[in-house]
Amino acid sequence: MKAAYFVTGIDRFDTSASALVSAHYNDKYLAEKEEKMKKEFPEVDWNIVKLGQLYEMVHTENPLIALTRNAKPYEKAIKEKYPTATVISVD
C-alpha cells in the first residue's frame, strides 16, 4: 500500500475563544475531506499530519501529498522541498 500525507495545516498555539470555535468547525471540515480522500484513493495509506510533521516523516522518493485549504499557502514550499512529489488539493 502506498503511503500518502494529508496535510491539515500548521500547529497553532492560540487558545483564544475565537480560535477554539474556529478549530471546532475546522475539525468537521477536515473529517469530511479525509473521508473524501479515503474514498477517492482507497489503495493509499493516509497519514494525517501538520506541515512540520510532513517535513519529519517524508523519506520516500515520490510521495502523494494532499493539501487542505489550511495547508494550501505552503504548496510552493512543499513542491520545492519534494520536487518529485504529487501534490494535490482536496478543495
pLDDT at 48: 87
pLDDT at 12: 57
Q: What is the pTM of this model?
A: 0.78
pLDDT at 79: 94
How many domains is the chain built from? 1
Q: Which domain holds residue 62?
A: 2-89
Q: How far is CA 71 from its chain centroid?
A: 6
Tens-place pLDDT, residues 26-84: 778 888 888 888 888 888 888 889 898 998 888 877 889 999 888 899 999 999 999 99
Above 70 in pLDDT, residue 22? no
Listed in sequence order, the residues at least 6 apart from 51 whose beta carbon sits closer than 8 Å to its beta carbon are 7, 9, 10, 11, 71, 74, 78
What is the distance between the alpha carbons of residues 91 and 38, in angstroms, rounded to a whole number? 14
